[in-house]
């Protein structure tokens, strides 16, 4: 299924931590609203709780995204579930989901792809191994690209499991290994921020046989800029401008 992302005749839209422009990031409501909007892929982040449960959360602490304080790894599952991960526009309270809860939600969406980010941490390889096993148990691996800012994790997933990986420009990665057999040789795709997005960088990755994706084109102008440079996977905090542009293009083809 992931191979379809090589299709440059169209473009694909990923919800960055769900629909985080309007809903609490990395929560089930944010993922559901992104799915309702019509995204092709969901990007999400994983870390272990103290009792080694895979939790969908970006930061290494709960400080920014919940009403708690402290490292994610210092809280058990039950303790993390007692925290508020935000309130949606309807005033509903939400919690940090587990990977299994995410997987259960996605059972109803067999065509939606996953961009699975393993956050840098001392136990990142254990997180990666447990994540891959869980996704395998759900038969979701054909839908996944695995992402990390840690080049060691990109290499681990590529070398040990033979799965597709997304990295980033070398200067943004931890443990980056230059050279023909280095980190870039392990990457199927590269995520480029809108700040770094340029013709030269896209061409560099193209010459290496690496797909160029971007984050986060959240306005009509940013979507146009990304598409003009040949980007065909857009990871968006707000997917609506990209979805509107795709609808416009389809309508023009029909007419």
Q: Given 58, 71, 81, 125, which residue is catalytic?
A: 58
Q: For residue 84, with 0-12 CB atoms within 10 Å meaning exposed, 13-18 middle and 19 or more buried, which class applies? A: middle
Q: Is 58 a catalytic residue?
A: yes
Which residues have CB under 8 Å from 156's CB, separation 6+? 125, 128
Q: Given 16, 119, 158, 246, which residue is catalytic?
A: 16
Burial 123-140 (b: 16+ CB within 10 A, else e): ebbebbbbbbebbeeeeb
Considering only CA atoms, which of 247, 241, 193, 211 is closest in space to residue 19? 241
User: In whole angstroms, what is the distance from residue 209 CA to residue 221 CA?
Assistant: 27
Q: Is 158 a catalytic residue?
A: no
Active site residues: 16, 58
């Amino acid at each position: 299924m992931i191979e379809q992302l090589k299709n440059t005749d169209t473009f694909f839209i990923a919800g960055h931590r769900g629909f985080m422009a309007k809903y609490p990031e990395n929560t089930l409501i944010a993922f559901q609203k992104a799915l309702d909007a019509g995204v092709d892929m969901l990007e999400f982040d994983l870390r272990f709780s103290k009792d080694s449960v895979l939790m969908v959360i970006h930061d290494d602490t709960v400080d920014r995204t919940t009403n708690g304080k402290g490292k994610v790894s210092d809280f058990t599952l039950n303790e993390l579930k007692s925290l508020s991960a935000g309130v949606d526009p309807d005033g509903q309270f939400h919690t940090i989901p587990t990977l299994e809860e995410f997987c259960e939600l996605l059972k109803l969406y067999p065509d939606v792809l996953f961009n699975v980010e393993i956050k840098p941490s001392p136990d990142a390889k254990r997180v990666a191994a447990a994540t891959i096993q869980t996704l395998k148990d759900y038969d979701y691996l054909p839908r996944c690209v695995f992402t990390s800012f840690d080049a060691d994790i990109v290499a681990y997933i590529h070398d040990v499991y033979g799965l597709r990986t997304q990295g980033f420009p070398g200067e943004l990665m931890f443990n980056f290994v230059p050279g023909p057999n280095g980190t870039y040789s392990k990457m199927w795709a590269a995520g480029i921020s809108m700040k770094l997005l340029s013709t030269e960088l896209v061409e560099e990755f193209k010459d290496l046989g690496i797909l160029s994706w971007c984050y986060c084109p959240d306005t009509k102008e940013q979507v146009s800029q990304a598409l003009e440079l040949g980007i065909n996977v857009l990871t968006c905090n707000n997917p609506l401008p990209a979805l509107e542009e795709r609808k416009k293009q389809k309508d023009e083809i029909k007419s």
